[in-house]
Chains A and B, each alone.
Chain A
Amino acid sequence: MLRNRYTTAGEGRFAVLDAETVELLHSGCALVVGAATPDGEPYAARAWGLELLGGGERGRLLLDADDARARELLGPGAQIAVTGVDVPTLRGVQLKGTTVGFEPVSTADPARFERYTEEFIDDVVRTEGTPRHLLERLVPVELTVCVFDVAEHFDQTPGPSAGASLGALR
């Protein structure tokens, strides 16, 4: 006879992204953002730094301020996808959530942007042999900050597990 004492204790969401994922997304990983128009047309753009707050519940994404289309599509309440891929290892994570809106660049953001850009370009130069001056052509001049709440994250590492859910946050 089975002694089934399985319990449902512990239901509910877990609170945060694991430290390794946060570290990856805070690094100079290759960041891209996905958005959608109201009628469902996709839009892709690059991002230039990500700060995760509350252990990963909220993100502050640095975007090119000149990208008016991104600003339009990522207004408050929009759905957002952000993928970060570690340049040397290609380990990748995708966050999905809902935007809170845009906010001005903080005093700490320029340094974050500088650090991000330096790490990203260094990694690409080192691992792929791309000339630095070419990569610098991608870098924006002015930034804006898109704030979003993270709902779920996914494995985005190339391989058979790509796209697998790593867990929901809410």
Chain B
Amino acid sequence: MSDPADQADLTLEDLHLCFEGAVPAVIATVAADGTPNVTYLSKVRMVDRERVALSNQFFSKTTRNLAENPRASVLLIDPVNYDEYRVSLVYERTERRGPLFDRLRDDIEVVAAFSGMEDVFRLRAADIYRVTRIEPLPVAAEVRGLVPPPAERPAPTGLGPAGTTALAELTARISRCTDLDTLVTVTVDGLAAVAGYEHCLLLLADEQGRSLYTIASHGYPTEGVGSEVPLGEGVIGLAATRCVPIRVGGVRQLAKYSRRVRDSFEDEGEIGPGHEIPVPGLPEANSQIAVPAVAFGALVGVLMVESPAMVAFTEADEALLVVVASLVANAIQAERARETATGPTPTALGMASSAPAPADDPAAAPATRVRFFEVDGSTFLDGDYLIKGVAGRILWSLLDQHTRGPRRLHQQGGAARPAPRAARVPRQPREPPDPAQAPPRGARRSRPPRQDRAGPVPPRRPRTAAPRGRPGPRLTDPNDRHDRHDRPGAPIPMAIDFTLAPEHEEIRLRVRDFIQGTVIPAMKDFDDEEKVLSRNEYILTILDLREQAKARGLWLPHMPAEWGGMGLGHVELAMVQAEAGKTRLGPWILNCMAPDEGNMHTLLHWGTDEQKDDYLRRLCDGTAMSCFAMTEPEVAGSDPTLIRTNAVQDGEEWIINGHKWFISNARRAQFAILIARTELDVPEGSRGATTAFLVDLPADGWNDVREVETMHGSTGHSEIVIEDLRVHESKILGGRGNGHRLGQARLGPARLAHCMRWIAQAETALDMMVDRALHRYSHGSLLAEKQGIQWLIADSAMELYQCKLMVLHAAFKIDRGEDFKTEVSMAKHFVANSLWRIIDRAIQVHGALGYSTDTPLANMLQHARWSRFADGADEIHQMRIAERTIAAYKDHGSTRSATGDLPL
């Protein structure tokens, strides 16, 4: 478009490709005082000929501006030819439900599905705008005649009007298929040959409705047969979950945006860290359509086509694929129904055969007889049922590959190899085909190796989601799951099994042995006033215990191996902490105590390489201790945005003044992480107002004026007056303005670590309660035989059980990279209160002895009281839990997702 005058009377329909979301749009608004605001938009959706809708996600300022002044200016780019338009809008209304809201929610869910943010990245509202003007923007070089305008408008590379002919031809080919194996092959090959789709995948849903498995593909350098896509993940998984076609015209832009948003949520501590997981597909795909294959109201699979070109597909492509997917789904279902009605005959059973032993040593082991039944994909090993459905078919296919020998699995590129055509969707129970009789590779069809073999892997595109790779809790057999989430679009949660992997159970037992067999006996003398040893002996003893912990490999359970740690996930860490917490010094001996544990995480995540080499290294080596200086007496500790301690830059240094208290471990610390306000004129509540500084201690200007006396004595919580403390700018931790984010990110998992240690204390109290009840005799019976005492024991046992489940589940969610805020808040509140109640009951059962200092219970109760307000007071957590519960109901019509998001 070189002459804007030619573009008079444009309508939104003329701009329809601008609404594919392939190129970010720009929106400008103006506040009541005339201040403009300009930002990028991920997608604008056309509502009708006169209106567009914008998804309201992060528009805090834009939304406020529109409330004051309803006008907006939006820049849109046509992704096919890069014509640009300026569109003037007037805000009309906001919708929070209804068909339009649902369409925008689908758009948002596509973004979320790219990086596993289904639980946090949700549509708040759909804002509807009326278009008042469309202005095509001139291309300067073309207007000036420096370059010629394009001869004609490029068209999308998709199907276009040839679709009807292509559909007829494809339908005819599919209709002629006589078995399912041929059907899937004809479908993907036909999509390429007839409709020109160079890259196609056909996936089948498993019986549990949790995953999709690739059963056929076309147009990939290596094949992904057998590769798995969990429902809800990526474009394919979302199309299956929502049972609607998903078309994306700018995959790379969308994936980039999704990763950025996920990173931001992680930085805010609102979701746990994710990791890269692969999904099948072109690594450089820029356009995708995933269409659910549905028959008789049930999801059979997903058909996906993709292209490296932007906006390669249109509504016409989508329509054609919907028809083809439906044809395939109905054919598969009809064939299954036919075989179910016919049933496997004795003859068919007799056809089952054995998979031979490995080719390199056929005599090494007796052959295992593998029988496979096409009717339902069930697979038997030596007569024992193993698995069925798609998983069974995949296994059969892999066994088929295995019997052909490894040489064929490792060939790449254009090397000729037999096509493993068997068992993709076999019809009858049968033997793995004889390799010698396998047909040669088809000329048109690429059949590279399976993904789970050594050698070439199928095309995979990394995406962010789910947990860090660590064994952690094991998932139950998918076949054991029958329950499903009924929330539309919700990810289907995995069942949970908190059984530790053998290597982690071994670690837990070694920690228990060390704590019970070495640490507690070594510390016993220091609890006996008659045997009080000198402080030097005490120090030497605990330092020796630390060396023993190191030597036994029980050091830094929360840190990765490269920092000398044990590299445990949060579930395993919960169990280790629960063992270590049986004695007050246990976590310190293992070097996983507060506040150093949280500070190590913080340095690991936020520190520069130099800061890690210095501060983190010393903490990990156990040669330094640290403190975290955030809480202030003048402002509410539960609202760190109110922090007053301020830092003012002076050249390369910052001058810090302020007042802190309850700074645990300050007198033993070699350095502090100090949070101070660096942005002095920002509005109240700003989360970017504070900065974290590393302060070497002792330091001029850092005045530790006292250890605050508490109800359990003076135990290392210092009050610090900071006067003209100078810190070099290189000591900023995590970047300027990130103090609040850093603190919140630190506190999330740290709260759970507290819970783990509190559970250990509560269990000790319950053990003592029961022991006392079993030995104290009164009024004709033991206390344990009295109903009133039994109630105390029962209530405590039930609460401790709840504590453990809540902590393990929250840890499980952290390890899986899922949103854990609500679960951690609930656990922190519940465990803190349970700790208090259980110790109090234990004291009650002990009577006067419990009130005395002859048992640890009195001291434990004194220590327990702080847990109800430290790291977020009860009421703060209750407020957040209530907010999220209400939001869940508003979003889904159910509070289920706010109560653990469990399959109940």
Binding site for B on A (CB under 8 A): 2-7, 9-15, 18, 20, 30, 32-36, 40-46, 64, 66, 79-83, 85, 88-92, 94, 96, 127-130, 134-142, 154-168
Q: Among residues 123 to 160 in chain B, which have CB atoms less than 8 Å away from a CB atom of chain A? A: 138-144, 146
Cβ contacts under 8 Å, B688 to chain A: 155, 161, 164-167
Cβ contacts under 8 Å, A3 to chain B: 659, 705-706, 719, 721
Chain A residue nearest to B633 (CB atoms) is: A2
Q: Is B583 an interface residue (CB 8 A)?
A: no
Given known contacts A43-B28, A128-B253, A141-B146, A34 and B264 CB-to-CB distance under 8 angstroms: no
Q: Is B658 an interface residue (CB 8 A)?
A: yes
Contacting chain A: which of B69-77, B440-448, B764-772, B802-810?
A: B69-77
User: Would you call B37 and A94 a contact (CB within 8 A)?
Assistant: yes
Cβ contacts under 8 Å, A40 to chain B: 30, 32, 34, 69, 71
Chain B residue nearest to A38 (CB atoms) is: B34
Cβ contacts under 8 Å, B42 to chain A: 158
Given known contacts A13-B681, A42-B29, A89 and B138 CB-to-CB distance under 8 angstroms: no
Cβ contacts under 8 Å, A64 to chain B: 140
User: Would you call B680 and A10 a contact (CB within 8 A)?
Assistant: yes
User: Would you call B75 and A44 a contact (CB within 8 A)?
Assistant: yes
Q: Which of A7, A79, A90, A162 contacts B36 (CB 8 A)?
A: A79
Given known contacts A66-B138, A127-B256, A79 and B34 CB-to-CB distance under 8 angstroms: yes
Chain A residue nearest to B724 (CB atoms) is: A9
User: Would you call A138 and B649 a contact (CB within 8 A)?
Assistant: no
Contacting chain A: which of B265-273, B548-556, B894-902?
A: B265-273
Cβ contacts under 8 Å, A20 to chain B: 735
User: Would you call A160 and B38 a contact (CB within 8 A)?
Assistant: no
Q: Is B479 an interface residue (CB 8 A)?
A: no
Q: Is B875 an interface residue (CB 8 A)?
A: no
Q: Which of A94, A137, A155 contacts B38 (CB 8 A)?
A: A94
Report the separation of the CA atoms of residues A48 and B79 in the bound assembly, to the nearest whole angstrom. Answer: 20
User: Would you call B705 and A166 a contact (CB within 8 A)?
Assistant: no
Beyond A35-B28, A89-B260, A140-B140, list 18 extra A-B contacts (CB 8 Å): A3-B705, A7-B723, A18-B736, A30-B40, A32-B26, A32-B75, A34-B29, A40-B32, A43-B36, A43-B73, A64-B140, A66-B138, A81-B28, A94-B37, A128-B286, A129-B252, A130-B310, A163-B60
**Per-residue CB proximity of B54-87 to A under 8 Å, as 1/0?**
0001111110000001011111010101111010
Given known contacts A92-B40, A128-B250, A159-B58, A6 and B634 CB-to-CB distance under 8 angstroms: yes
Chain B residue nearest to A47 (CB atoms) is: B38
Q: Is B210 an interface residue (CB 8 A)?
A: no
**Per-residue CB proximity of B476-516 to A under 8 Å, as 1/0?**
00000000000000000000000000000000000000000
Chain B residue nearest to A155 (CB atoms) is: B688
Q: Which of B73, B81, B657 contacts A134 (CB 8 A)?
A: B81
Cβ contacts under 8 Å, B35 to chain A: 36, 79, 81, 96
**Contacts A/B (CB < 8 Å), 27 sampled:** A4-B634, A4-B659, A7-B658, A9-B724, A10-B655, A32-B75, A36-B34, A42-B29, A44-B38, A46-B75, A82-B38, A96-B35, A128-B252, A128-B310, A129-B308, A137-B142, A156-B39, A159-B260, A160-B264, A160-B265, A161-B688, A162-B59, A164-B687, A165-B682, A165-B688, A167-B682, A167-B737
Report the separation of the CA atoms of residues A2 and B59 in the bound assembly, to the nearest whole angstrom. Answer: 42
**Per-residue CB proximity of B614-641 to A under 8 Å, as 1/0?**
0000000000000000001110000000
Cβ contacts under 8 Å, B181 to chain A: none
Given known contacts A80-B36, A162-B60, A168-B682, A139 and B721 CB-to-CB distance under 8 angstroms: no
Given known contacts A40-B69, A42-B73, A82-B38, A139 and B141 CB-to-CB distance under 8 angstroms: yes
Q: B301 CB to closest chain A CB, in angstroms?
A: 28
Q: Which of B59, B138, B268, B633 contacts A161 (CB 8 A)?
A: B268
Report the separation of the CA atoms of residues A166 and B632 in the bound assembly, to the nearest whole angstrom. Answer: 22
Report the separation of the CA atoms of residues A3 and B704 in the bound assembly, to the nearest whole angstrom. Answer: 11
Which among A7, A80, A138, A159 has the highest number of chain B CB atoms within 10 Å?
A159
Given known contacts A134-B81, A167-B679, A10 and B648 CB-to-CB distance under 8 angstroms: yes
User: Would you call A42 and B683 a contact (CB within 8 A)?
Assistant: no
Which among A15, A83, A156, A161 has the highest number of chain B CB atoms within 10 Å?
A161
Cβ contacts under 8 Å, B71 to chain A: 40-42
User: Would you call B140 and A135 a contact (CB within 8 A)?
Assistant: no
User: Would you call A5 and B75 a contact (CB within 8 A)?
Assistant: no
Cβ contacts under 8 Å, B32 to chain A: 40
Given known contacts A30-B40, A41-B73, A127-B252, A161 and B687 CB-to-CB distance under 8 angstroms: yes
Report the separation of the CA atoms of residues A3 and B634 in the bound assembly, to the nearest whole angstrom. Answer: 10
User: Would you call A14 and B30 a contact (CB within 8 A)?
Assistant: no
User: Would you call A158 and B264 a contact (CB within 8 A)?
Assistant: yes
Chain A residue nearest to B645 (CB atoms) is: A6
Cβ contacts under 8 Å, A36 to chain B: 30, 34-36
Chain A residue nearest to B676 (CB atoms) is: A10
Report the separation of the CA atoms of residues A161 and B744 in the bound assembly, to the nearest whole angstrom. Answer: 13
Which among B28, B38, B252, B286 has the highest number of chain A CB atoms within 10 Å?
B38
Report the separation of the CA atoms of residues A2 and B83 in the bound assembly, to the nearest whole angstrom. Answer: 66
Report the separation of the CA atoms of residues A4 and B661 in the bound assembly, to the nearest whole angstrom. Answer: 10
Cβ contacts under 8 Å, A164 to chain B: 686-688
User: Would you call A167 and B681 a contact (CB within 8 A)?
Assistant: yes
Q: Which of A6, A89, A91, A168 contacts B644 (CB 8 A)?
A: A6
Q: Is B284 an interface residue (CB 8 A)?
A: yes
Q: Is B428 an interface residue (CB 8 A)?
A: no
Cβ contacts under 8 Å, B737 to chain A: 18, 166-167
Cβ contacts under 8 Å, B86 to chain A: 44
User: Would you call B649 and A142 a contact (CB within 8 A)?
Assistant: no
Q: B331 CB to closest chain A CB, in angstroms?
A: 35
User: Would you call B75 and A142 a contact (CB within 8 A)?
Assistant: no
Q: Is B119 an interface residue (CB 8 A)?
A: no
Q: Is B27 an interface residue (CB 8 A)?
A: yes
Cβ contacts under 8 Å, B73 to chain A: 34, 41-44
